[in-house]
Structure formats: structure tokens, C-alpha cells
Homo-oligomer: A and B are copies of this chain.
Amino acid sequence: MITLYEQATSGNCYKVRLVLTHTGRAFRRVEVSARDGSTRTQEFLARNPIGKVPTVEFDDGRPLGESNAIMLHFAEGTALLPADAYDRAKVYEWLFFEQYSHEPMIAVRRALFLYEERRHLATPERLAQLMEGGNKALSVMEGRLAAAHWLAGNAFSIADIALYAYTHTAEEGGYDLSSFPAVQAWLARVAKVPGHVPLEA
């Protein structure tokens, strides 16, 4: 059985739970976290030298890290990853957008409020910078979703899962989603896809 090493409150880990659930795979969950040092043990670093969750371990013991890499692997051959070459490339584009321009703003700002040990990093300058960058990312999503139901191609894909994970918790980071009505409507659509499960805190 697949083992998912995760921190349950992490949106990056939630992505992996969603893709495993949507593709009907059995998995067991092991809670590890930078917060208690359990991602810094020699045993964990052998699985993932950067010490990050999510990390999965396959039946044969081989590990894989990076949430969006894990999603691409499990989505291969399913409806969550388009067969059309251009639509597929657009999925890739949204996945890299998510990790470079969205998560480092929207997930990071949420973490400054959510995790007590990070609160000293929440300076007014940092909060303002993250607000500006996050709103820019949300604007890019709004532009697409005002004209289309899904982020890449014509169907729900791992691009939607990747962006849903932290967009649906953006208000915990202080973002105001009422300025992004197409994003709000899309969040509701994603939550209605059969097989959807909530983020368990």
C-alpha cells in the first residue's frame, strides 16, 4: 500500500490526498512535521533529503516528494491529466505557476497566522508583500475562470486540485475572495466534483 507522509493541515499534503482519493487508490497516512522535528530525522531525510512533506513511499519502498510531482505521477492515464498535448502542457503551466507565484504568497501568509512559531515573521512589510503577490496570483486565476469552467482544457484536472488546495483557505491568510467572483464560483464547482474530500485540520 502507498504510504503518505503528511502534515494534515498542509494544503500541499491535501493535494495528494485528493488525487489518491479521486483515482481510487488505497493509502495509509503517517503524520510528520517540521514542527516537532520528525521531518529532520535521518530516517525521513533518507526518503526526502529536503525534509519536506508530502512525501509518498510506494509498495517497493521507493520515495517521491514534491506535491505536484506526486499528483502528476498518480494522474497519468486518468481523466485528471488531459491526453491532448496542449491541454496537458497548460496543466504543467498551472502547476508551476502554483508553486512559484501562488503558494509562496497565499500558503505562506496563511501559515504566518496559523502556526504560532511563525508569528514573529509577520512584519507589516512582509504581510503587505504577500498580500500584493497573492492578489496578483488570484487575478491571474480570475482572468482564466471568468472565461472557462476549469483551469486547463475543458475538464477538471490536477491543475484545479493544485490551485484549490490553498485558494480555498486564502481567507485564513487574510485575502478577500469577494473581489474574485469567478474564483469563488470555481471553488464551489471543485468541491462538488464526485469524490471530493474536505481538508481535515
Contact = CB atoms under 8 A, between A and B. Distances in A.
Interface stretch (A20-28, A36-44, A69-77, A185-193): A69-77
Contact of A92 (B73, B93, B139, B144): B73
A144 B86 CA distance: 32
A167 to B, nearest CB: 16
A69 B92 CA distance: 5
A201 interface: no
Contacts of A64: 86, 89-90, 93
Interface in A101-115: 101, 103-104
B96 A49 contact: no
Nearest to A76: B85
User: Majority SS of interface residues in chain A?
Assistant: helix
A148 interface: no
Contacts of A182: none
A23 B35 CA distance: 44
A152 to B, nearest CB: 10
Q: Contact size class for A?
A: 20 to 34
Given A76-B85, A89-B64, A101 B50 contact: yes
Contact of A69 (B62, B70, B96): B96
A92 to B, nearest CB: 4
Interface in A129-150: 136, 139-140, 143-144
Nearest to A60: B86
Contacts of A95: 69, 96
Contacts of A50: 97, 101, 136, 140
Contact of A85 (B73, B90, B96): B73
Contacts of A68: 92, 96
Interface of A: 49-50, 58, 62, 64-70, 72-73, 76, 85-86, 88-90, 92-93, 95-97, 99-101, 103-104, 136, 139-140, 143-144
